[in-house]
Amino acid sequence: MSFDADIVIAGGGLAGLSAAITANREGLSTIVLERGEYSGSKNVSGGRMYVHALSQLFPDALERAPLERPVTKETYEIYCEEGKKITFSFQHKTKNSYTILRAKFDQWLAKEAENEGVLISYTTLITNARREKDYVVIETNRGELKAPLVIDAGGITAPVSRFLGVKKLEPKTLMLGVKEVLDIKPEIPENEGEARTIMGLIGNLKGGGFVYTNKDTLSIGVTIKVESLYNSSIPSHEIVERFRESLGLSGNILEYSAHLIPYYGYDKIGKIHDKNLILVGDAAGFLINDGFNIRGMDLAIGSGIIAGKAAKKIKELNDYSRTDIYYEMLKESFVLKDMKTALRSFSVLSEEEVFTKYPKVICNVLGKLFTVTGDGKERPINVLLQESKSENVNTTKMLSDLMRLFI
Ligand SMILES: Cc1cc2nc3c(=O)[nH]c(=O)nc-3n(C[C@H](O)[C@H](O)[C@H](O)COP(=O)(O)OP(=O)(O)OC[C@H]3O[C@@H](n4cnc5c(N)ncnc54)[C@H](O)[C@@H]3O)c2cc1C
């Protein structure tokens, strides 16, 4: 049987390109199928990348890649009712994350891949996939391709895995991400940047928001659990608008985009490999949102690198059912280890009170602790119990939920 390549990679985003670069360096022939006119044309991201995985792919990436700003200042804001908010900030000593603009970044990565010899076929839409005895046939708008191994890097829709019946999309395991790029130049030095993580400005929806500083613009956006949109009184197209207005940001909108985000959690990821098939990045469900970080990009690059290396081992065995090799390698990597660590926060962040009642209780408690009237101070524990009661919150459960974010 003759094949079109050792591996066909579905999707030319971060995961697909990282897999292609690695597999190509390992000596495998690789074709990337990308539906967009260029890599990045269909990608959406709030644009803060933890760069450890990128540096693994290119040790000199920080000098060469089109990064916007290092995140040197981290700000966490919890909004309560009546304009009250709790804010805390700190300065990073090391530059472990940078803001990026995906259209620019993905094009750069694709160019790097092509310079190393990777073949990328643009405007190639995967319309179906079927399994033959020892290989997979991918159907596209440009014709069919056959390969003994397919890496599905097609993002949240996981096109090949869906067509092969390995993965399906379920609303309860999805988040909606909506992002805008605003024409507002940050008034801070070029070598500094800020990431704001914001809770409590999207009504009773389960989710949060962010504001990141780019070189000359701001990226703002919200991420919301899809199931919480069902009973929402706020139309989904208005959520980011209201969020922007609440923050008092009024620049021109240069870019608007909405995208689904996987929210499976470690225990619900499901299959990440099958005979002749490996899933990477969003297609596999690799995303961490633990209340402190949104991470999908480093997991996409990391899983792509591992997939490329696993593909080499699988080819050497000449047994394309042995995709478990990928899973074994992944288990030893930060990808699955960090997904596992974040498991508790996934369950905490599924609780509605975390987004609605807890911020109010915390704000009210702090408000009282910082107030002196001369009428005699209550003990902090009594203030906590009173404020929890007035919001109908079980204090023990609240404390245990908050602890679960840390343990
Ligand atoms: C609003 C928002 C904010 C986010 N913020 C952050 C953040 O700050 N930090 C972070 O680390 N992560 C963030 N993420 C998550 C991050 O963007 C993703 O985890 C990451 O992009 C996954 O990369 P990927 O390569 O797996 O998938 P994608 O980037 O989705 O790439 C998939 C590629 O496959 C192509 N494709 C899809 N279907 C087909 C088909 N049928 N045929 C051919 N090609 C196809 C697409 O065109 C695309 O190029 C955010 C996501 C959203 C939506």
**What's the chain look like in SS3?**
CCCCCCEEEECCCHHHHHHHHHHHHCCCCEEEECCCCCCCCCCCCCCEEECHHHHHHCCCHHHHCCCCCECCEEEEEEECCCCCEEEEEEECCCCCEEECCHHHHHHHHHHHHHHCCCEEECCCCEEEEEECCCCEEEEECCEEEEECEEEECCHHHCHHHHHCCCCCCCHHHEEEEEEEEECCCCCCCCCCCEEEEEECCCCCCCEEEEEEECCCCEEEEEEEEHHHHCCCCCCHHHHHHHHHHHCCCCCCEEEEEEEEEECCCHHHCCCCEECCEEECHHHHCCCEECCCCEECHHHHHHHHHHHHHHHHHHHHHCCCCCCHHHHHHHHCCHHHHHHHHCHHHHHHCCCHHHCCHHHHHHHHHHHHHCCCCCCCCCCHHHHHHHHHHHCCCCHHHHHHHHHHCCC
Residue 383 Cα to ligand 1 middle (Å): 45
141 lies in the same domain as 27: yes
Q: Total domain count for the chain?
A: 3
206 lies in the same domain as 258: yes
107 lies in the same domain as 41: yes
Which residues does a 6 A CB cutoff place in the pocket of ligand 1?
10-16, 33-36, 39, 42-49, 125-126, 153-155, 157, 159, 177, 179, 221, 223, 259, 261, 281-283, 287, 294-298, 300
The best mutation among 39, 127, 297, 338 to test binding of ligand 1, ranked by most ligand atoms within 8 Å of the C-beta, falls on 297
Domain CATH for 257 = 3.30.9.90
162 lies in the same domain as 59: yes
Q: Decide if 89 is inside a domain.
A: no
Domain CATH for 277 = 3.50.50.60
Q: Decide if 82 is inside a domain.
A: no
Complex ipTM > 0.85: yes
Domain encompassing residue 361: 356-404
Residue of the nearest CA to atom 27 in ligand 1? 155
Tens of pLDDT along the chain (407 residues)? Answer: 789 899 999 999 999 999 999 999 999 999 999 999 999 987 766 689 999 999 999 999 999 999 999 999 999 998 887 778 889 899 998 899 999 999 999 999 999 999 999 999 999 999 999 999 899 999 999 999 999 999 999 999 999 999 999 998 888 889 899 999 999 999 999 899 999 999 887 777 878 899 999 999 999 999 888 888 887 777 777 888 889 998 999 889 998 888 999 988 888 889 999 999 999 999 999 999 877 778 999 999 999 999 999 999 999 999 999 999 999 999 999 999 999 998 877 777 777 777 778 888 888 888 888 889 888 888 999 999 999 999 899 999 888 888 877 76
Q: Decide if 368 is inside a domain.
A: yes
